[in-house]
Every structure is written in structure tokens, then in C-alpha cells.
Structure 1
Amino acid sequence: MESMEAADNLILIFQILYVVTALGTMVVVISENRNPLKTISWVLILLLLPLVGLVIYYFFGEDSRKQRLISHKMYKKLNRRSIGRKELLETLNPPAEHRGLVNLLNRLKGAPLYGGSNVTFYSDGIAKFYALFEELEKAKKHIHIQYYIFLEDEIGRKTRDILVRKAAEGVEVRLIYDDVGSWKAKRRFFKEMQGQGIEVQPFLKVAFKFLTSRVNYRNHRKIVVIDGKVGFVGGMNIADRYIYGVSFGTWRDSHIKIEGKAVAGLQTSFLIDWYSSRKEFLASDAYYPALENKGDNLIQLVTSGPVGPFKDIHLGILQAISTAKECVYIQTPYFVPTDALLLAIQMASMRGVDVRLMLPRHSDTTFVHIASMSYLKDVLDAKVSVFFYEAGFLHSKLMVIDSSLTITGSANMDVRSFEHNFEIDAFIYNEGTCNAAKEIFFRDMEKSSLLSAEEWEKRSRFEKFKESVMRLFSPLL
């Protein structure tokens, strides 16, 4: 009898502790003054999922925007090396319609506008890796390589072999990989590279004793800088899927090679991440060589992450869409927009801008895809043309604005990219590059189906309800 009473008392104590902890967590969530929708989502999880909700919040709910991975002083010191390479805005003369955007990005992030750069697009993995391997083989002084996913597969091993060989030749090789994104690769894979002369650094390494929001805030950037003269940035990681596709078709993605002065922006992004992870300050002239003009593209390399007061890429995209006069073409694998972004897209379409949104018919992430579908009625009602890519998985992050602005990089059109991940996008001001990006979009349209409002309305009630439920949690996805 006494043992039963003792058990009942323990259960009661546990229940009281849980209620106090849950209520305390709710107070913390509310007092952080987050987006009201996100706050409501977390409160619902804590209420509807006892115990599990607390575990989920512990790993994914902490707001780290007030934390710092790098001091403002050190950030400015590193960024100054890149800014020192910039030219006067009046000399570069960006398109008048985008001058406000250029100023915004410069003031937000200190993102310089670089001239004298050439841009080459890659819309498939074969072309991208052929170009990447070719440039890596040419390296004479240093290779800086950073990927969210670096797998130990055919492409991963080939990349490793080139890096090991270049290190043996005396080239400085530094590698940053995201510790969560690259979890399928064994630690031994990276340790062996380190043992062969490559400096390897995981970003926000996760160990059980440190498991907190580090799982939630990941470095999603894909950057390669070779001798400070050639750089790559975009949506493709190091994995076989970009060559061989997935079970339901090809893996369609976008990547660019930059030659010329804008490579300094990629170099700065890498070295800031290297310092924040390794605490090693690298900013000598060896990493910022004098560069001659390689083309007529004007480029801003814009980074964003969960540690600053502003969502820089998000604000840049909002400005670009809000001032569009002719067209807005968007490719994204996931469409979970903020309220402000959704409204900007709707308003652009309703004022007569040709707005086209292209998404994959099938996705690699079920929950995010379901949530994405819940927003399609909103854009269809605003007369946005919605296309489903049918030839495989569309992972491309590409935006074309009017006749002279192209935006591409690592950021998806979703809350996770805008608020939680460390991302980088290239804002490119050039008519020729814009036309090349449009051609890529138009080619993909030939492999896509146009969605009608009538067709979308015919979905079953269950499908609509499922999408509505996932949309409720979309600020957390």
C-alpha cells in the first residue's frame, strides 16, 4: 500500500514539474517577441505534445539571433579586406531601377558592389563538377571549399582525391563541412583528409553534451574559392545525386562560377566562417590578390544567418520583388514564404508584373512539401503562374527580376533559409546574365506543367486539411 502511495506521489511530482517546466518554456517563448505565428506554433506544440514538445523545443526552438559566433569587431576586420577591393558606386553605375536594392544590401551587411566579373551558369551536376574539378586542378596557392553536404560517395571521393593531391603539391587546402548536413559521411572520411595535409573544420560540431540549438542552425552555404581568383557558389553539394538523380528523375539544380573581382566576396564569407569555427584569423593579401576585369557583371555577395538583427537575404528579395516592373521568375524547391514575402509576390502579380513560380512536383522532404502546397491557392488567387517541374526534383534556387537582376545561391524560399540557416546569395546586375537565367527558366518550363486554379481546387478535403495542418507549423519547418 505504501509503495503504491509512493508511486502516486512520484507521478504527481513529475506532473507538477512538467507543468511548471512547460509553462516556464511558454513564458520564455512569448517573452522573446518572435513572429506571432511562430510563437503560437511553439505554444501549440508544447500544449498538444506533452514531454515530446519540450524535447523538440530543446533541440530546435532556442532563438539564437542574439548570440554571436563572431564579434562585431572581428567581423568588420575580416570584412574590411573585401570592402577594400570595392569601387565607387558612381563609377560602377548599377542599373537605376536597382540602385535602391544595392544601397539596402550595402547598408544592411556592408555587402560591396563588385564590378569586373564574369558569371557562368551550370544547370546540371555533370557540367558543374567538370568545371569545378578542372579549376581545382589549376590551383597554385590555396583552395577554400565549404559545403553543407559532403558525402563519402563517388563524387565525394573524387573531390577528396583532388584535394589530397593538391595539398601534396604544397597548395593550402581548407575545408568546412556542416556537421549535421554531412552526417552520412563517417568522421573517419574527414580525419583521413586531415591526416593528408588538408585543414578540415566541421561547422558547429554536434556532440551529445552540446546538443541544443546547434542542430537547428546549420551552415547551408556552398562556396569554393581557388587562389582568390575563381569562385563557385550555388545550390549543389558534394554528392552523387547531382550526377545520377533520384528515383523519380533527374536532380535539377543551379550553380555559378564567378571569375574576377567579386571572388573577394566569396573569400570573405569563407574566411569569416573559418574564423567563427576555427578561431584562426586569415586576411593577408595572399588571399585577396589584385584582380583584373573578367567581365561586365556587377555583383553583391550577400550572407545571412540566425545571429544578426536583420534577415538580409529576405529583405533583399523583398526589395527586388517590390520594385519589379516587368517580370519575376522564381525557382525554389520549397515554398514556405513569410507573410511579407507572400504579400510582395501577390502585389507584384496584381499590379501587372508577370510573376511565375516553379516548384517540384515531387520533393525530397515530405512535410515541407505539404506545407508548400498550402500556399499555392494564395498565389493562384493573385494570378501568379504556378508550374510543377515534372522531370525529377527541382532543387534550383534562381530568381530573375525584370531585365537586369538575377539572384542565385544557397537560400531556398522558406522560413528555414531566411531565419535559421547560414546562407549566401549572389545578386547579379547584368542584362546578359539575366537573359541566360531566363533561358534556363524557359527550358525548365518545357519540362513543367502549368497549374490551374480549377485543377487545384479539385483536391480532396483530406489533402486540403493535411496541408492546412502543416501550414500551421510552417514557421518551424
Structure 2
Amino acid sequence: MAIHSLMSTRSTQGAIAWLISLLSFPFLAVPLYFFLGRNRFDGYVSSRQASSEQFKPYIDEMTRDIGNYIVTPSVNEPPVWLCRELCRIPVVKGNALQLLVDGDATFDHIIEGLRGANHYVLFQFFIIKDDGLGRRIRDALIDCSQRGVKVYLLFDEVGSYALDSSYLNTLNKAGVKVATFNKKGNIRKRFQVNFRNHRKNVVIDGNKAWLGGHNVGDEYLGKYPKFGHWRDTHMCIEGPAVKALQLSFLEDWNWAKGEILDLQWEITNCANQDAHILVLPTGPADELESAKLMFVQCIRSAKSRIWITSPYFVPDEAVIAALQLAALKGIDIRILIPDKPDHYLVYLTAFAYIHDVSPVGVKFYRYSDGFLHQKVMLIDDDLAAVGTANLDNRSFRLNFELTAIVHDVVFAQQVKQMLEDDFSKSQLVANDEFSNKPWYFQLLVRIARLSAPVL
């Protein structure tokens, strides 16, 4: 087992942590390693390879239909477009966007979209709860199905562990097709519970889509007393980029159910705006650590500004180095994190990494108007990203994530105004915050940092 961890763990830090644990505390570490120690999602890769010939006609059809909207690589393009090499999806133009701030705006917009669905709905979330919002979504999906619209619901079994079977039975009886990403009943997959499908992806009729940080639950509407106001961001896309979000769902559904859905690939209502978008699905089935490389390239491509918001700050050495170098160039780097944590171990670990980069000029802010959960980046004055990936090792290596990187001055300015409002409700973290903490707190932080590879 120790040799396996040494040979297969992607990061040096993770390999050392597992090696020491397995040799020192085998009775505790061996069972944990079965569930938490893997860094590749067995089965998804082989499923992707086995279905590559089946997917090829769909990919060819998508590429043909969006051919006129593909942004041709050039020497003058934004450096961040190098991220297209991390996936099979091109950068496309001709997209219309809408920024959705917080839960009410997001889910009102999604439910309005569901009412207008004509052919099919692809609905995917990490967490779905059987509460007020969950029942609104359930009823909206059932209404679609009763109108003859095909509805496909995909959720993560671990994230939605509390979802009652009666909720799913009601959907099934109404004709909604339901699937769990982690495949209940498959014993082999029981040892892959550390991998999560963290994507939030809604596609309607192949021409309108939503993605972002929200899950389906009342807490995302700010109704959970522990956190109060829940600060999160989603976005709506219309245009050729929707096909990439549809392809992401198609691949996830094929893994979960072993079937390829018959969907619409022709572009029927090209938007009258011209935002350029790269949709980037990332995950542990990728050959490279795509989510991490996306963050690194975004940081490296910045010339004047890189603002990042994330509920967690547990990066690895590559991201730390990229932030340090960018700060030394005089770039305005601001990272917005919650003041109120939802996971105390992650909260502790963040102190160690903040201590690594704040001395060179990276500014950290703690959001104090509730809980911050959004995953947003702003790069200079013309690039922005909205998605599901956090700035932590779990998103880098263990989760399936989904991010839309947008090149559009108008949208970037909307994101800038949104983040400026967030910063106005935040407190700047002092450079000496960590060093002024009691010695026992600093010790806890150092111990917590050892768990960073699996957080």
C-alpha cells in the first residue's frame, strides 16, 4: 500500500503524507487510503475511451455547427486561451451573458427558463435538498415532464447524501429520468467516494445554460440561520458555448447511466452579443491537473489585475509560486475568502498559505456580510471566469468541476462592479495576522496544513 501511494500519488506533499501515515499508523491509514488515497477516477477514463467512437459523431456535429463561431488561435489572443489545450473544446464567439448575483436571482431565472423548455432539460447539481427550494425545483421539473419535455436529473450521491428516496420517487413517477454520479450498488465505486462531481450545470433545449456556485437548497437563498446571507454567483449563457456545457453533461450522464442522449446540436438561436467563451470541464479523469493549470495560467496571464473569490484557500506550490511572481510584478492581486467558515479544518489550513503569499503583496479580504461561496475570477479589464472550482486541492485533483472563462469587456465590468461591492463588505487581512496568533493556534494551523492534499 505504501509503495502504491509512492508510485501513484500526484503531488510530492501528498505522497509523503500518505507514506508516513501508512507506515506509522497502518490500522488507521490503510482503510482511509482505500477511500481517500486515489488520485484517478477509475472507470471514467475507460468509459470515456470506450465511448470515444460513439461520441465522435456528436463531437463532429458540434464542431461543424459551431464552426463559424470558433475563435481561431492567433499570436495576439489572450494568453488565457492556452487553457483550450486542456480540453477538447474550442473558444467560441457570439454568446450572450447574464450575471446572476445570489440565490433568488439565480433560481428565479432558472425556473423561468424551465417554464420555457420545449424539448429537453439537462439538470445537474452537486447538492440537492428536499426543502423549500428543492421542492420548487422538483415541481418545475415535473411540470416540464408533464408537458412532454424530456428531463434528465443528475446529482452527486455524496453531496446529496441527505436526499430522501421519496423525493426521487416522485420525480421518477412523473417521468423524470434520474441518475446518481457515484453509481449506488457498485462495490468498486464505493472506494472512490473521495471523488465528487461538483458541477452545477443546467441546459435547456441546447441553446440556453446556467452554471456557477449555487446548489439546490434553502441555505443558498440565505435561509440557514448559521450563515445568514449566502453570497454566491451564477451566470446564464445563450449561444454556441452552450454546446460545450451540453457535451459535459452528456459525458457525465454516459458514465452514470451508460447511455448517450439524443440531443440538439444545431445552433438555432445565435445570440446577438459577441462574448468569447471557453467552457472548461476539469476533473480527476484528465491526464493533467487541468483545474490547477487553469488557475496558474489565469494568474500568469494577468497584466494589471487578478481578483479571485473562493470559499476555500488551500492551493498547492504551483499556485503559490504563480501568485508570488505576479505580486512581485506589481499586479493588483486580491483574494476574497469568507470570514465565517463552514469547514474549520480548511479555515485553519488557509492561514498557513496566506502567510506564504501576503508578505509579497497579495491582499486577502474576509467577507463579513454572511457566508461567501462564489467561485469567480477577474483578470485585467476584459476577462472574467465563473464556475464551480474552488482555490483548493480538492478542486485541483479530486472534483469534477466546470468553469466558463469569458473575454468580454462589458461582462468583465459587471463582474468588477459586483466584486467591488463585495470588497466593500469585507475586511483587509493584516500581514501579521497569523504571527500575532497564540502559539497553540499556530501549531494547529501547521498540523492542519498536513491534511491539505485531501482537503
Query: What TM bracket, shorter-length normalisation?
Result: over 0.9
Q: Once the 2 structures are TM-superposed, how far is the Cα of residue 77 of structure 1 from its aligned partner? A: 4.5
Partner of 1:138: 116
Query: Secondary structure in 2 aligned to 1:292?
Result: coil
Which range moves more in the overlay, 425-434 or 317-326?
317-326
- Residue deviations 1:424-447, cap 9 Å, x none? 100101111111111111000111
| 1:2-13 matched pairs, under 5 angstroms | none
Partner of 2:16: 40
Contact 1:250 1:391 survives alignment (8 Å) = yes
Partner of 1:61: 37
Equivalents in 1 of 2:188, 2:9: separation in Å?
26
Which range moves more in the overlay, 78-87 or 219-228?
78-87
Equivalents in 2 of 1:424, 1:162: separation in Å?
24
Q: Once the 2 structures are TM-superposed, how far is the Cα of residue 268 of structure 1 from its aligned partner? A: 0.9
- Residue deviations 1:231-263, cap 9 Å, x none? 000010111101124414311111101112211
Contact 1:405 1:434 survives alignment (8 Å) = yes
What amino acid does structure 2 have at the position aligned with 1:279?
A: G
| 1:378-457 matched pairs, under 5 angstroms | 378-457=356-435
Which range moves more in the overlay, 329-338 or 114-123?
114-123
Query: 1:121 pairs with 80, 99, 107, which one?
Result: 99
| Change beyond 3 A, Cα 1:219–1:47 | same
Which range moves more in the overlay, 210-219 or 150-159?
210-219
Which range moves more in the overlay, 431-440 or 59-68?
59-68
1:257 matches 2:236: yes
Task: Provide structure 2 residue ranges, at least 5 long, that are not aligned to the other structure.
Answer: none
Query: 1:52 pairs with 10, 28, 31, which one?
Result: 28
What amino acid does structure 2 have at the position aligned with 1:86?
A: I
Q: Once the 2 structures are TM-superposed, how far is the Cα of residue 282 of structure 1 from its aligned partner? A: 2.3
Query: Secondary structure in 2 aligned to 1:96?
Result: coil
Partner of 2:60: 80
Query: 1:266 pairs with 234, 245, 258, which one?
Result: 245
Query: 1:351 pairs with 329, 343, 347, which one?
Result: 329
Query: Secondary structure in 2 aligned to 1:377?
Result: helix
Q: Once the 2 structures are TM-superposed, how far is the Cα of residue 138 of structure 1 from its aligned partner? A: 0.8
Q: Once the 2 structures are TM-superposed, how far is the Cα of residue 187 of structure 1 from its aligned partner? A: 2.2
Equivalents in 2 of 1:332, 1:470: separation in Å?
19
Query: 2:209 pairs with 231, 249, 255, which one?
Result: 231
Query: Secondary structure in 2 aligned to 1:375?
Result: helix
Contact 2:351 2:434 survives alignment (8 Å) = no
Equivalents in 1 of 2:434, 2:7: separation in Å?
39
Query: 1:96 pairs with 76, 90, 93, which one?
Result: 76
What amino acid does structure 1 have at the position aligned with 2:65?
A: R
| 1:184-203 matched pairs, under 5 angstroms | 184-203=162-181
Equivalents in 2 of 1:208, 1:74: separation in Å?
24
1:377 matches 2:380: no
Equivalents in 2 of 1:216, 1:173: separation in Å?
28
Equivalents in 2 of 1:109, 1:183: separation in Å?
30
Equivalents in 2 of 1:190, 1:168: separation in Å?
16
What amino acid does structure 2 have at the position aligned with 1:37?
A: Q
What amino acid does structure 2 have at the position aligned with 1:426?
A: A
Equivalents in 2 of 1:221, 1:65: separation in Å?
15
Equivalents in 2 of 1:325, 1:256: separation in Å?
25
Equivalents in 2 of 1:317, 1:156: separation in Å?
32
What amino acid does structure 2 have at the position aligned with 1:27?
A: I
Query: Secondary structure in 2 aligned to 1:42?
Result: helix
Q: Once the 2 structures are TM-superposed, how far is the Cα of residue 289 of structure 1 from its aligned partner? A: 4.0
Q: Once the 2 structures are TM-superposed, how far is the Cα of residue 313 of structure 1 from its aligned partner? A: 2.7
The count of corresponding residues between Structure 1 and Structure 2 is: 450
Equivalents in 2 of 1:435, 1:385: separation in Å?
21
Contact 1:29 1:42 survives alignment (8 Å) = yes
Equivalents in 1 of 2:69, 2:63: separation in Å?
12
| Change beyond 3 A, Cα 1:91–1:193 | closer
TM-score when normalising by structure 1: 0.90
- Residue deviations 1:327-381, cap 9 Å, x none? 0001000111111111101110111100001100111112122112211111211
Query: Secondary structure in 2 aligned to 1:70?
Result: helix
| 1:296-307 matched pairs, under 5 angstroms | 296-307=274-285
Larger-gyration structure (1/2): 1
- Residue deviations 1:139-188, cap 9 Å, x none? 11111100000111110111001111110110111110111111111123
What amino acid does structure 1 have at the position aligned with 2:288?
A: F
CA RMSD of aligned residues (A): 2.0
Query: 1:282 pairs with 251, 258, 261, which one?
Result: 261
Contact 2:338 2:368 survives alignment (8 Å) = yes
Equivalents in 2 of 1:59, 1:423: separation in Å?
20
Partner of 1:18: none
Contact 2:121 2:202 survives alignment (8 Å) = yes
Which range moves more in the overlay, 206-215 or 160-169?
206-215
Q: Once the 2 structures are TM-superposed, how far is the Cα of residue 288 of structure 1 from its aligned partner? A: 3.9
What amino acid does structure 2 have at the position aligned with 1:267?
A: Q
Equivalents in 2 of 1:101, 1:185: separation in Å?
39
Q: Once the 2 structures are TM-superposed, how far is the Cα of residue 120 of structure 1 from its aligned partner? A: 0.9
| Change beyond 3 A, Cα 1:283–1:248 | closer
- Residue deviations 1:41-64, cap 9 Å, x none? 112222343412111111111232
- Residue deviations 1:264-321, cap 9 Å, x none? 111111111111211212245x354433233121001101111121122321221121
Equivalents in 2 of 1:256, 1:291: separation in Å?
18
Which range moves more in the overlay, 212-221 or 392-401?
212-221
Contact 2:71 2:92 survives alignment (8 Å) = no
Question: Percent of pairs identical after alignment?
Answer: 31
Partner of 1:12: none
| Change beyond 3 A, Cα 1:142–1:338 | same
Contact 2:83 2:297 survives alignment (8 Å) = no
Task: Provide structure 1 residue ranges, at least 5 long, that are not aligned to the other structure.
Answer: 1-24
| Change beyond 3 A, Cα 1:87–1:204 | same
| Change beyond 3 A, Cα 1:133–1:66 | closer
Contact 1:94 1:298 survives alignment (8 Å) = no
Contact 1:120 1:256 survives alignment (8 Å) = yes
